[in-house]
Copies of this chain bind each other. A is one copy, B any other.
Amino acid sequence: MPREYDRRNLDFILKEVFNYGALCQYPRYADYAPDMFDMVLDSAEQIAERHLRPHFVDADRKQAELVNGTVQVHHSVEAYVKEMGDSGMIGATFSYEKGGQQLPSIVGGAHEFIRGAANNSIVMFTGLSNGAAHLIASFGSEELKQAFVPNMLAGKWTGTMCLTEPQAGSSLNDVSTTAKDLGNGTYSIKGQKVFISGGDNHFSENIIHLVLARLEGAPKGTKGISLFVVPKRRQENGQWVSNEVTSMGLYHKMGQKATPALHLSFGDKGDSIGYLVGEPNKGLMYMFQMMNEARLGVGMGGAYIASAAYHFSKQYASERSQGRKLTNKDPETPPTLIQNHPDVQRMLYYQKSIMEGAMGLLFQCFLWEDLSKCLTGDEQKEAQMLLDLMTPVAKTYPAEQGTLAVNQGLQVLGGYGYTEDFPLEQMARDVRIMSIYEGTTGIHGLTLLGRGIPSEQGKAVQALVKLIQADIAQGMTHETTKPYAEMLANELASLNKVTMHKLSKASQPDVFLADSTLYMELFGLVVVAWQWLKQGNVAVRNLESSEKSFYQDKIHTMKFFYHYEVPKALGLTKRLLDDEILTIFE
């Protein structure tokens, strides 16, 4: 299989667009020098090479299965998790006091991108351990931290997040798992959770579930939800005993088959002990930390699978001969490479423009996350606001558009793309989950338009617009980027008009939010157009460099995005300004 991502492009985004080395000037990251970040990414390539790429196909064909109450996962997972633990990468982005290496999130994200492009399904195990351990490290008592975090970061124990219940789905309001105070600082947990990724495996010594549940007498709705640590095994009189977390069933999924999704039962016979994290009834607030981290992770999933699909289909198009150029009608001449057909080039640039634009958006978010930890006062607040506003977009755009991009990659291969002989059909199955994980696209549309945009009188959007306008101003200074800076300015004005129109309906929540998924689509398109202008602004400054062809292709891809993708804003805008209501019934 050809390399699934382009290190040169990753370096371009990290170094030239976002200048992540500048983070080292803040005290938080002062122990690092920029070239150490390179070494971190090199290590990701080694892990991908040794533990991930070789098992991409096999771990799909031999999917995880529930056997005698225990889930047997693909043999490669154990070695991968161990390697990640040994190399200190599971919690590398945690602060020193939380047991991490205080690595910037943008570097951690790049490490994940490289691993995920090589094997999107297996990497979920360590992503979940990271999120679960971070919750305990952030909000748990000293005792909980010591009891759980070190073994999780070492890769000995894995972690999960247990939110969804059979009857509630996306509606966390309706979580009904109960926690009864046993009076000794522990709680008896009882309830069922579904779709728990990594919910069981045969190899780790323990599995640490982070579970949302209700204390007795807690208020209904989200204000009565608390967070508990519920391990698969607990210590009792020096012995490890079962904590009555039962695997009721394993979902057979369309893709991502290396990561089992479990239906778990807690304390069916009353013998599942949980430990409260932080204060009672604040569980959802805590869990939002893990959810938001996971959301960027899911957006990354859309982007790195799209990266793998792009690079594979591009390679295929450069090797496969078929047909003749449109300008050549002579059947006596030999067939041409399919990369010489304009429609194939369209499918390749479509993928590249979606994927590299999505990468821009994602690494922008990771940078904001890092800056929110380095800056102070209003600057800190702004970075956090921008991250909060953009997280649902950075989850949704790569998921939705990445799914379409991967399917165009499959299309490049024609009939072969539909067969198991090539990895595209698996990538298409794998990527499809990204629009569902961690809140469906519909949920994130509601979050963006219903909460993100109106919050604090639109302060976050205003901050975003200021940033975009600065890049437009820069784009106006070069003849190559000027037309695109002008287009972006128009799109921004048009988006603003749509936003104002929608906000004018805010007194009728159903009318206001009815098309929020389409609002999300438009918003994502405009911010990715912004990211492309950012990348174009950097590229035009380097056209005289020795890597001229790399920068030329960047500019070409930016142009493609503006000429082929940005026009889609017209239809979305028209619909979003149209007041004909067709989806609300009494």
A11-19, A307-315, A324-332, A534-542 - the one binding chain B: A324-332
Question: Does any Cβ of B come within 8 Å of A476's Cβ?
Answer: no
What are 7 sample pairs from A and B whose C-beta atoms fall under 8 A apart?
Answer: A170-B323, A254-B419, A254-B428, A343-B445, A411-B436, A559-B582, A563-B578
13 other A-B residue contacts (CB within 8 Å) besides A327-B509, A407-B432 = A167-B321, A168-B335, A169-B323, A173-B331, A195-B415, A254-B420, A342-B510, A343-B445, A345-B583, A346-B515, A414-B436, A568-B568, A570-B574
Q: A508 — which chain B residues lie within 8 A by C-beta?
A: 327
Question: Does any Cβ of B come within 8 Å of A580's Cβ?
Answer: yes
- Inter-chain CA distance A580–B195, complex, in Å, is 47
- Inter-chain CA distance A568–B253, complex, in Å, is 33
Chain B residue nearest in CB terms to A568: B571
Chain B residue nearest in CB terms to A577: B567
Q: A582 — which chain B residues lie within 8 A by C-beta?
A: 345, 349, 556, 559-560, 563-564
- Inter-chain CA distance A261–B420, complex, in Å, is 12
Question: Does any Cβ of B come within 8 Å of A127's Cβ?
Answer: no
Q: Are A414 and B169 in contact (CB under 8 A)?
A: yes
Question: Does any Cβ of B come within 8 Å of A194's Cβ?
Answer: yes
Question: Does any Cβ of B come within 8 Å of A441's Cβ?
Answer: yes
What string of 1s and 0s marks CB contacts (under 8 Å) between A425-459 and chain B? 10011001101100011100110000000000000
Question: Does any Cβ of B come within 8 Å of A39's Cβ?
Answer: no
- Inter-chain CA distance A195–B413, complex, in Å, is 13
- Inter-chain CA distance A171–B340, complex, in Å, is 14
Q: A462 — which chain B residues lie within 8 A by C-beta?
A: none
Q: Are A432 and B428 in contact (CB under 8 A)?
A: yes
Q: A432 — which chain B residues lie within 8 A by C-beta?
A: 407, 410, 418, 428
**3 closest A-B pairs by CB:** A221-B331, A570-B570, A342-B514
What string of 1s and 0s marks CB contacts (under 8 Å) between A497-518 and chain B? 0000000000011101111110
- Inter-chain CA distance A574–B195, complex, in Å, is 43
Chain B residue nearest in CB terms to A575: B567
A215-231 contacts to B (CB < 8 Å): 220-222
A333-366 contacts to B (CB < 8 Å): 335, 340-347, 349
* Minimum CB–CB distance for A59 against chain B, Å: 16
A171-B252 contact given A411-B441, A428-B432, CB 8 Å threshold: no
Question: Does any Cβ of B come within 8 Å of A569's Cβ?
Answer: yes
B-binding residues in A (CB < 8 A): 164, 167-171, 173-174, 194-195, 220-222, 251-255, 261, 320-327, 331-332, 335, 340-347, 349, 403, 407, 410-411, 414-415, 417-421, 425, 428-429, 432-433, 435-436, 440-442, 445-446, 508-510, 512-517, 556, 559-560, 563-564, 567-572, 574-575, 578, 580, 582-585
A569-B567 contact given A253-B418, A345-B585, A583-B342, CB 8 Å threshold: no
Chain B residue nearest in CB terms to A509: B326
- Inter-chain CA distance A313–B195, complex, in Å, is 20
- Inter-chain CA distance A342–B510, complex, in Å, is 7
Q: A323 — which chain B residues lie within 8 A by C-beta?
A: 169-171, 173-174
- Inter-chain CA distance A250–B421, complex, in Å, is 11
- Inter-chain CA distance A574–B345, complex, in Å, is 20
Copies, count: 2
* Minimum CB–CB distance for A265 against chain B, Å: 17
- Inter-chain CA distance A510–B340, complex, in Å, is 10
Q: A407 — which chain B residues lie within 8 A by C-beta?
A: 403, 432
- Inter-chain CA distance A173–B570, complex, in Å, is 40
- Inter-chain CA distance A419–B221, complex, in Å, is 28
Chain B residue nearest in CB terms to A219: B331
Q: Are B414 and A170 in contact (CB under 8 A)?
A: yes
Q: Are A331 and B222 in contact (CB under 8 A)?
A: yes
Q: A169 — which chain B residues lie within 8 A by C-beta?
A: 320, 322-323, 414-415
Contact check: which of B332, B346, B510, B571 meets A326 at CB < 8 Å? B510
Contact check: which of B164, B556, B564, B568 meets A415 at CB < 8 Å? B164
Q: A325 — which chain B residues lie within 8 A by C-beta?
A: 510
- Inter-chain CA distance A433–B425, complex, in Å, is 11
Contact check: which of B425, B436, B567 meets A570 at CB < 8 Å? B567
- Inter-chain CA distance A39–B135, complex, in Å, is 64
Q: Are A418 and B326 in contact (CB under 8 A)?
A: no
Q: A560 — which chain B residues lie within 8 A by C-beta?
A: 582
A411-B435 contact given A324-B173, A420-B252, A571-B568, CB 8 Å threshold: yes
Q: A559 — which chain B residues lie within 8 A by C-beta?
A: 580, 582
- Inter-chain CA distance A419–B341, complex, in Å, is 37
Q: A168 — which chain B residues lie within 8 A by C-beta?
A: 322, 335
- Inter-chain CA distance A173–B253, complex, in Å, is 41
Most buried by B among A174, A324, A512: A174
Q: A575 — which chain B residues lie within 8 A by C-beta?
A: 563-564, 567
Q: A435 — which chain B residues lie within 8 A by C-beta?
A: 411
Contact check: which of B251, B411, B512, B583 meets A343 at CB < 8 Å? B583
- Inter-chain CA distance A479–B501, complex, in Å, is 27
* Minimum CB–CB distance for A487 against chain B, Å: 11
Q: A421 — which chain B residues lie within 8 A by C-beta?
A: 251-252
Q: A251 — which chain B residues lie within 8 A by C-beta?
A: 415, 418-421
